Structure 1
Amino acid sequence: MNVKRIVSGIAGLAIGMGVLVLGGPQASAATNFELPFPCGQTWSGQTRTNHSPQLALDLNRGADEGDAVVASASGTVSKVRNEGSTSYGRWIEIDHGSGWTTRYAHLSAQRVSVGQAVSQGQTIGNVGNTGGSTGAHLHFEQLLNGSPQKIKFGGSTILYYGTKDYKSNNKCGGGGETNPYTPEEACGDGYKVIDGANVTGGRVSLLYNASNGYNCVVTIKTTKIGSASDVGSFLEVQGDARTTDRGDYGYYAGPVKKKAPGKCVKWGGNAGSSTYTSAFEHCG
C-alpha cells in the first residue's frame, strides 16, 4: 500500500524591512494511518478522559504480550527510548513527514533504530508491559507538530470515549509471495520452534518459551499473503478446553499461548480447508 501524504495550505508572504518572509504551511492532512498490527487481527481499543495524553489509545487482545507491533504508516524512526519502570517504558516514535508522528509505548522489545526507514506494516517491536503499565498492552498516539490528535484508522476517527473492537487493514491485499513474519516473531521474544507441520497454503508451528513455560502455536501463510483469507491455529492442554484463533487474516493466525506443566499438548491449524491436528505429545 502506498502511503499518501497530502500537504494543504499555501505559504503566506510578508514583506517588511526589505526582507521577504515565507510563512509556514497550514496543518497538513493526516497520513493514511492503519491499526498498528498485522492485517486481519482484531484488537480492543480503549479511550478515556483520564488518559495521558487524553487522546491516546490503549490496545489489547487475549494473551497479547509479545505480539508483533507494526508501523501504522511508512516513515523514519525518530526516537527509540527506554524509560525503565516509569512512563512509556520501552517506546518508539516514527516521523511520517508533514509534522505527523506516531508513538508506540510499553513495548517488550524494540526492533528498529533511530534513522531507519520503515514501511507501513513492518514489524517495529512487540507488545509489552514496561514502564508505568499494569498489564500488557500497546499505548498508541498520533501527533501533529508534537500535539496529540484524535486517532484515525483508514481515515475514520476512533471512538471517544469508551471501548471498541478494531480490525486491522494494515497491508491487506498485498498478494506478495514472501511472508514477512516468522513463527518466532509472531509468538514474541524467547519462543523457539520445537515442532511444525505443513498445510496447503501455510505452515503450523509449535513453539516453547523456556523462561516462562508457555507453549505457542501460530500458522504462517505461504499463499494469499497480504490478502485476508481463512487461517487458524489452536492449542489444547490435555484435560483442558481447546483455544482457537481462526479468521480471515492476511499473514498468520495466532499466537495461541498456554502453559502445560506436567501435561501433554495437542496443537494444529489450518489454511482454508487444509488442516493439521497433532496427537497429544510434547508431554511434561
Structure 2
Amino acid sequence: MRPIRATLIVSTLLLGLFIALPAGPALAAPNFKAPYPCGQRWTYSHHSAEVRLALDFVRADGGGTAGTPVLASAAGTAYNYYQAGGAGNYVVIDHGGGWKTYYFHLASFGVGHGAGVGQGQVIGTTGSTGNSSGAHIHYEQLYNGAGQTISINGQSLAPYPGSYNQKYLTSDNGCSGGGGKYWVDTFANATGYKDAQMNDAQGLLYAGTNYVYCKVWGREVRVGDQFNHWWLRTDLDEVYAGKNGWGAYVSAYYLSRWGNDEARDNNGTVIPNC
C-alpha cells in the first residue's frame, strides 16, 4: 500500500504545480490594416458609449464615404449578419487565435457567409444601415471577445479623439503588389469595352472607388482639353445582356485624381502595363 500512497502524493503535488502555472501570453495580433482602400485618407473618432473600443471612420480626402468599398483588415473567415436596431448589415471576420474584427452599418455585403477572405479583399460597401445617423465604418478589433485598442500596421491609434477631423489615417490596404489590384477613384460611370479601341461595349463601371489590374495604350478619349489614351483593365459593375464584364477596359480619362495621359492609383503609383 505504501507505493500507492507515494504515487498519489506525487501526483497531487504535480497537479498542484500545473494548476498554479500562469496562463500563457495572448497570441500576437495580425498585422491589421485600415478597413478601406489604398491611398484613401479618412478621419476617425470614438464615442464614449461604445464599450468595445470601437472607432468610426469617415472619408476626409474629398471622396464620398457612402458606397466606398470596405476591406478586410486581415485574412480570415467572414460571416454576414444583420441587426435592425443596432449594427445593421455587418461582417465579422475570424482571424484565428482568438482575434476578430467587426465592420458595422454596411450598405451591402461583398462576400458570402463563411467565405475565406484575404487581407485587402472587398467584404462590403460603406453605408448607414441599422442605428446610424450617416454613412461611416464602425470598426472593432476583439481578442477573445474583449474589445482592444485599435492598432493599424502595429501602431496604436490611441489616444482616441472624441470627434472627427482631429486625427487622420491614410490606408495602405490593398496597395500595389497586394493581389495585383490597384485602387482608383472615378468621377462618373464609365463604359467598359472588350478592348482599348472602344470595340464591343460590355457594361458599366460605376463612379466611386474601384480596382483595376493594369493599363494599355489605345484610342483617345477627349472632352475639351482633357484627354487620355490609357485604358484600364478591370471588372465591371453592370454587365450588358450577353456580354462579359470580367477583364473589360475603361478609359483612364475617368480617373478623378490625375491629368492628361496619366494612369495612377490613389496612392500615386503608376499602374503597370498589361
TM-score by length of 1: 0.59
Task: Please name the residue that 2:214 is paired with.
Answer: 223
Task: Please name the residue that 1:87 is paired with.
Answer: 86
Match of 2:174 among 171, 174, 181: 171
Label 1:83 to 1:196 Cα distance change in 2 as closer, same or farther (>3 A): same
Task: Please name the residue that 1:128 is paired with.
Answer: 127
Aligned sequence identity (%)? 37
Letter matched to residue 157 of structure 1: S
Task: Please name the residue that 1:30 is paired with.
Answer: 29
Q: How many residue pairs end up in the alignment?
A: 200
* Cα displacement (A) at 1:64: 1.2
Label 1:69 to 1:159 Cα distance change in 2 as closer, same or farther (>3 A): same
Q: Secondary structure at the match of 1:108?
A: strand
* Cα displacement (A) at 1:26: 2.5
- Does structure 1 residue 97 correspond to structure 2 residue 84? no
Alignment of 1:194-233 (within 5 A): 195=191, 216=207, 221-223=212-214
Larger Rg: 2
Please give the alpha-carbon distance, in whole angstroms, between the structure 1 residues aligned to 2:26 and 2:14. 23
Task: Please name the residue that 2:64 is paired with.
Answer: 63
Please list the CA deviations of residues 88-125 of structure 1 after superposition, one character each: whole Å capped at 9, or x if unmatched.
01101001111100000000111223321100000000
Alignment of 1:1-284 (within 5 A): 15-16=14-15, 25-48=24-47, 50-61=48-59, 62-77=63-78, 79-84=79-84, 86-162=85-161, 163-174=166-177, 178-179=180-181, 193=189, 195=191, 216=207, 221-223=212-214, 268-269=254-255, 274-275=261-262
Please list the CA deviations of residues 235-254 of structure 1 after superposition, one character each: whole Å capped at 9, or x if unmatched.
xxxxxxxxxxxxxxxx99xx
5+ residue gaps in structure 1?
Answer: 1-13, 200-204, 209-215, 225-250, 253-266, 277-284
Please list the CA deviations of residues 208-229 of structure 1 after superposition, one character each: whole Å capped at 9, or x if unmatched.
6xxxxxxx366754439xxxxx
Q: Secondary structure at the match of 1:112?
A: coil
Task: Please name the residue that 2:5 is paired with.
Answer: none
Please give the alpha-carbon distance, in whole angstroms, between the structure 1 residues aligned to 2:182 and 2:73. 16
Please list the CA deviations of residues 16-69 of structure 1 after superposition, one character each: whole Å capped at 9, or x if unmatched.
39x999986421111100001121111111124x13125101000152111100
TM-score by length of 2: 0.61
Please give the alpha-carbon distance, in whole angstroms, between the structure 2 residues aligned to 1:37 and 1:217. 13
Label 1:76 to 1:23 Cα distance change in 2 as closer, same or farther (>3 A): farther
Please give the alpha-carbon distance, in whole angstroms, between the structure 2 residues aligned to 1:175 and 1:38. 11
Letter matched to residue 125 of structure 2: N
Letter matched to residue 172 of structure 2: N
Q: Secondary structure at the match of 1:172?
A: coil
Task: Please name the residue that 1:256 is paired with.
Answer: none
Task: Please name the residue that 1:281 is paired with.
Answer: none
Please give the alpha-carbon distance, in whole angstroms, between the structure 2 residues aligned to 1:25 and 1:38. 36
Contact 2:92-2:100 at 8 Å conserved across structures: yes
Label 1:25 to 1:219 Cα distance change in 2 as closer, same or farther (>3 A): closer
Label 1:207 to 1:120 Cα distance change in 2 as closer, same or farther (>3 A): closer
Label 1:28 to 1:219 Cα distance change in 2 as closer, same or farther (>3 A): closer
Select the structure that is richer in helix: 2
Please give the alpha-carbon distance, in whole angstroms, between the structure 2 residues aligned to 1:221 and 1:38. 12
Label 1:272 to 1:46 Cα distance change in 2 as closer, same or farther (>3 A): same
Label 1:76 to 1:221 Cα distance change in 2 as closer, same or farther (>3 A): closer
Aligned residues: CA RMSD? 3.8
* Cα displacement (A) at 1:194: 5.1
Q: Secondary structure at the match of 1:16?
A: helix
Please give the alpha-carbon distance, in whole angstroms, between the structure 2 residues aligned to 1:193 and 1:169. 25
Contact 2:182-2:212 at 8 Å conserved across structures: no
